[in-house]
Amino acid sequence: MDNTKEKVKKQFEHAGRNYRDSAIHAKGRDLEWIAEEIGRCPSPLLALDIATGAGHTAFALSRCVRRVVGYDLTPEMLRIAAKEAEQRGIDNVTWAEGDAERLPFPDRLFDVVTCRIAAHHFPRAERAFAEARRVLVPGGRMILVDNYVPEEADELLNRVETLRDPSHFRVRTLSGWTRLLRNAGFSTVTVLRKWETPVVLEEWFQRAKTPAHRQEEALRTLREAPQPTRELLLLHPPAGPAQLILRKGMWIAVR
C-alpha cells in the first residue's frame, strides 16, 4: 500500500477521537448545506460517504436519505463512528472499510456520494473522484467539501500542513479541485459555496497530535514566509492567539 495510506492509518488511529470531538468536523454549517442539497427529506435515496472519519457527514445524511454507507480506510475511525451511531440510535448507516481510490461497489449504485474534509489525504484524488462517478447513477451527485489554498500560498501551506500531519497529501486551489472533478468525467461541476474557518493554531496542532518539534518548524515556516503570504494565511486578533485561515469550498459534481 502507498506510503501516504500507511501514514493515514497511523495518523487516524492515533488522533481519531479528536476528530470525533472537533467542532469543525462535528458541527460545521456545511453539514446543513449538504442536507439542503439533498433536497426533499426524508428521501428514498442511497448515499455513500467516502472517508467518513468519525461519521459526522454520514450522520447528517442519515436524517435525509434511506440508507448511508460510511466508508473509510482506517478501521479505528470506523469503530469510533459505529459506536457513536449506536449511542445516537442511528440505524440506517452501514460501515465499510477500504480505499477511496478503489471502491468495492458496483457501477451506478448510489444516488449521492459525499467526501468531506478528506480528499486532501488522497495521493490520486482524480482516481477517487472517477471511482465516485462510477458508483453514481446517471444524474447522481457528488458533494465534495475540502480546504482550498490561494495560488500564492500553495507550496507554503501544503508544507505547513504536512508538518502538522504527515498523512496530509495536498490541498488544491479552488480551480485545482474543480479541474480534478472535471477530469474524473463529471458532466457539470459547480462551486456552490466558499467560506473561511479561522482556527487557533495551537488547537489545530493539538487535534492532529503534532509533536512539539514539528509544531516549531511549522510555526517558523509561517513566521518566515513573505509578508503577503502571511497576510493571506494568518489572523492576529488584538486579544487572543494567532489563527490560521482555512478556506473551504463545497462542490457539486453531476454524473
Ligand X SMILES: C[S@@+](CC[C@H](N)C(=O)[O-])C[C@H]1O[C@@H](n2cnc3c(N)ncnc32)[C@H](O)[C@@H]1O
Is the Cβ of residue 120 or residue 225 nearer to ligand X in the bound state?
Answer: 120
Q: C-alpha grid cell for residue 226?
A: 513573505
Task: Give the binding range for ligand X (CB under 6 A) out of 97-105, 213-221, 226-234, 237-245.
Answer: 97-105
Binding mask 37-56 for ligand X (x = CB under 6 A): --------------xxxx-x
The span from the first CA to the last CA of the chain, in angstroms, equals 29
Residue choice 34, 100, 143, 157 for contact with ligand X (CB under 6 A): 100
249 binds ligand X (CB under 6 A): no
Q: How many residues bind ligand X (CB under 6 A)?
A: 23
Which residue, 17 or 236, is less far from ligand X as judged by CB? 17
Stretch that binds ligand X, among 114-122, 202-210, 211-219, 239-247 (CB under 6 A): 114-122
147 sits near ligand X (criterion: CB under 6 A): no
Residue 196: exposure state from Cβ atoms within 10 A (0-12, 13-18, ≥19)? exposed
Say whether residue 118 binds ligand X (CB under 6 A).
yes
Helices (H) and strands (E) in the chain — how many of each? 11, 8
> What residues form DSSP beta bridges with 195?
248
Cβ atoms of 108 and 34 closer than 8 Å: no
DSSP track, 86-150: HHHT--SEEEEE--TTS--S-TT-EEEEEEES-GGG-TTHHHHHHHHHHHEEEEEEEEEEEEE--
- Three-class SS state of 76: helix
Which range in 94-102, 191-199, 205-213, 240-248 contacts ligand X by CB under 6 A?
94-102
Residues interacting with ligand X, by CB under 6 A? 5, 8, 12, 19, 25, 51-54, 56-57, 72-74, 77, 99-101, 116-118, 121-122
